[in-house]
Every structure is written in C-alpha cells, then in structure tokens.
C-alpha cells in the first residue's frame, strides 16, 4: 500500500466523528457493562494460556488498590506483562510500548483510538488476528474502568460517577479535567480526583481554598501555581507581603506589564536566599483563549524587570528591549 500524504475532507470529517466517539467513551459515567468486560478479559486470559479468572468488582481504583493489597498473599503473580506481551507483540513496538503502563480500561482509549481510527478509515490494514486483539482492548475501553489481572483473579473498577472537564483547545475540541468548586472526577464510593485546569491538586485547595500561609509552604511548584491562580495574583501579592521592587511594560509583549517583587521571608528558602520573583503574563495565548499570569524566581541582584526577563531567556538586556511581540 502506498504512503498516504494527506486525508480528504470526507476522511477528516470521519476522524472528527471517531474522535468524538472515543472522547465520549473516555468520559463516560454510565455503570460498567460487566458481562461484556468479563468476556473480553476472559478471552485475554485464554490468549496467554490461562483459565478464566474470578472477578472482583470495585467502585473505584482506590478501593481496587485495597482489594489488590488484601489479595497479594493469595492471588499469585500479576499477569499484566503476559497480557501486554501476548496481545502487543504482533501490533508492533509502538503499540507494545503503549501497553507498558497500567491496564486502564476506559482511560486507555486514547491509544486504542490511535490504532482504531486509521483501521476504520480504511488507510491501515491489520491481520485478522491483530484486529481481534485490538477489538478486545477497544471493548474494555468502552465497557469498564481500570482493571488489574492476576493469576487467578481479576480486579475491575467501575467507571466514574461524574467527570467534569473544560475545553482546552476549542479548534480541536480537546478537553482536560477541571472543576473550580468540587471534584473533577468522582467515583461511586466517594473517592474523588480534584483538578485545576488539568493539574491534579489536593482536595482542600478546591473545596475550601488555601490561605496565603498554606500556599507559601506548598513545595510542589505546579500545585502552588494553581493555588495562587485560584486565589488571584493581586490578592496573593497583597496578603503575602510581597514588596514590589519595580515594574515596566514588557517589550516583547505589548500591553502587558512585567514586575519584580521581593519574596516573603516564609518562602525565601524555597527559592534560595538570593532570589526575587519575576511576575509576567505569558506571551502566547493559551489554547483556552486566556493569557496565563505567572511568576518565576530570578537572582536577587536584578532590579530591572527587563534585565530579569532577558536573563531568563539567556539574552542580553538590550536585545530583549528591542523585541517585537511574540506570536
């Protein structure tokens, strides 16, 4: 078969339809189809020469982890590697590499779709055997949540009860987990995942909010950024006692301001004693359509925000002063 350089308009329409189909499967909150899931898993066991396992269903991956721990002394070794090797070898290194992670059922849909879409578009042909194996993974992605195969028993999790997302790239229709006032994903036994614009964060950051002291003692930079964004930079600067050293217009980002602040004593050690905070606005618009305001530590000898910005880029200050707006 000759190499395809581009898709037709009709094929792109089908790609978008298939993408929507798989996204719906990945965010589905309906109860698992247990008979269908068990049949697919049983067939996977057969393919690696094992008898059908007993099934233990749980309401969340968290509960499943507890069950697996309780079974660890009696359920024997895991079959994850055997299943991956047996079902992945003939579909090539790329697919086999995808199978190295945990067996996530519904949340494995992204890589299953990667192989399913070209097959359904008719631009890739797999052998009958390979297509049957891919169909097993597709069935599980559409019928249950996470699952853990062991020697004599398979632990399977239900799908989430709720999933809350935001559009990340409107042009492509991509989404990410986000909820500003509760769990972004919640399971039937109450276990939940909290997310701020795609970053997993502690529950209390979302549910009750953090005060400035709690934010300043958070050691994970991404979580700390999310907490400050939720609070708002203006409020955080005021409440944290960050003293402004200087500010000016950003030469590389017209209409935006860059500024330098002295760090509060409580968090100075997290960045080094000899540091200041450089506050700026992203020169590139986020896929959500927003511009992110963020801060970066810079050496404390900087008193000119332009010099600090140039230092971050590794440029001479005069070169940064002459920048045109970034795309």
- Number of neighbouring beta carbons within 10 Å of residue 320: 19
11 has pLDDT over 50: yes
pLDDT at 103: 60
pLDDT at 253: 85
pLDDT at 308: 92
Q: How far is CA 190 from CA 57, 65, 140, 165, in A?
A: 16, 15, 23, 18
Q: How far is CA 134 from CA 40, 68, 75, in A?
A: 11, 26, 27
End-to-end Cα spacing for the chain: 40
Query: What is the average pLDDT across 25-31?
Result: 95
- Number of neighbouring beta carbons within 10 Å of residue 317: 15
pLDDT at 261: 92
pLDDT digits (tens, 9 = 90+) for 46-61: 998 999 999 999 999 9
pLDDT at 222: 87
pLDDT digits (tens, 9 = 90+) for 247-295: 999 988 888 899 999 887 767 666 666 788 898 888 777 666 677 787 8
Are the beta carbons of 112 and 141 closer than 8 angstroms? yes
pLDDT digits (tens, 9 = 90+) for 61-116: 999 988 988 887 654 456 655 555 555 444 434 333 333 334 668 887 888 999 99
Q: 193 Cβ partners below 8 Å, 6+ apart? A: 177, 183, 184, 185, 186, 200
Q: How confident is residue 204, by pLDDT bands cut at 50, 70 and 90?
A: very high
Q: How far apart, in whole angstroms, are the C-alpha atoms of residue 29 and residue 32?
A: 9
Collapsing DSSP to helix, strand or coil, 196 comes out as strand
Q: Please name the residue that has the structure tokens 């500024």.
A: 259
241 compared with 92, residue with greater pLDDT? 241
pLDDT digits (tens, 9 = 90+) for 214-224: 998 888 888 98
pTM recorded for the entire structure:
0.74
Are the beta carbons of 119 and 131 closer than 8 angstroms? yes
pLDDT digits (tens, 9 = 90+) for 116-128: 999 999 888 899 9
Helices (H), the chain: 9-26, 34-47, 61-71, 80-88, 92-98, 109-121, 128-143, 203-207, 212-217, 221-231, 233-240, 265-271, 305-313, 317-321
């Amino acid at each position: 078969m000759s190499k395809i350089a581009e898709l037709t308009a009709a094929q792109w329409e089908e790609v978008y339809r298939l993408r929507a189909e798989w996204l719906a499967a990945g965010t589905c909150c309906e109860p698992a189809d247990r008979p269908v899931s068990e049949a697919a898993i049983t067939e996977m066991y057969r393919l690696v020469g094992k008898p059908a396992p007993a099934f233990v269903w749980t309401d969340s991956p968290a509960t499943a982890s507890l069950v697996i721990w309780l079974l660890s002394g009696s359920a024997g070794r895991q079959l994850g590697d055997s299943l991956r090797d047996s079902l992945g070898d003939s579909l090539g290194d790329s697919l086999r590499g995808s199978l190295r992670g945990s067996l996530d059922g519904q949340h494995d849909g992204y890589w299953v779709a990667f192989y399913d879409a070209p097959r359904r578009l008719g631009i890739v042909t797999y052998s009958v055997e390979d297509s049957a194996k891919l169909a097993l993974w597709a069935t599980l992605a559409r019928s249950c949540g996470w699952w853990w195969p062991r020697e004599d028993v398979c632990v399977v999790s239900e799908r989430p009860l709720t999933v809350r997302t935001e559009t990340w790239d409107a042009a492509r229709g991509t989404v990410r987990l986000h909820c500003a006032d509760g769990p972004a994903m919640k399971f039937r036994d109450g276990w939940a995942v909290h997310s701020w614009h795609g970053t997993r964060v502690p529950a209390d950051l979302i549910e009750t909010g953090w005060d400035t002291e709690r934010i300043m003692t958070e050691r994970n930079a991404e979580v700390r950024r999310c907490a400050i964004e939720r609070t708002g930079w203006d409020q955080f600067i005021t409440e944290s006692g960050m003293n402004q050293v200087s500010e000016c217009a950003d030469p590389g980002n017209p209409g935006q301001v860059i500024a330098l602040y002295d760090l509060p004593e409580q968090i100075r050690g997290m960045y080094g004693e000899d540091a200041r905070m450089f506050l700026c606005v992203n020169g590139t618009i986020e896929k959500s359509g927003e511009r992110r305001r963020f801060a970066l530590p810079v050496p404390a000898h900087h008193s000119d925000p332009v010099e600090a910005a140039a230092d971050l880029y590794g440029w001479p200050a005069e070169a940064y002063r002459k920048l045109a707006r970034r795309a």
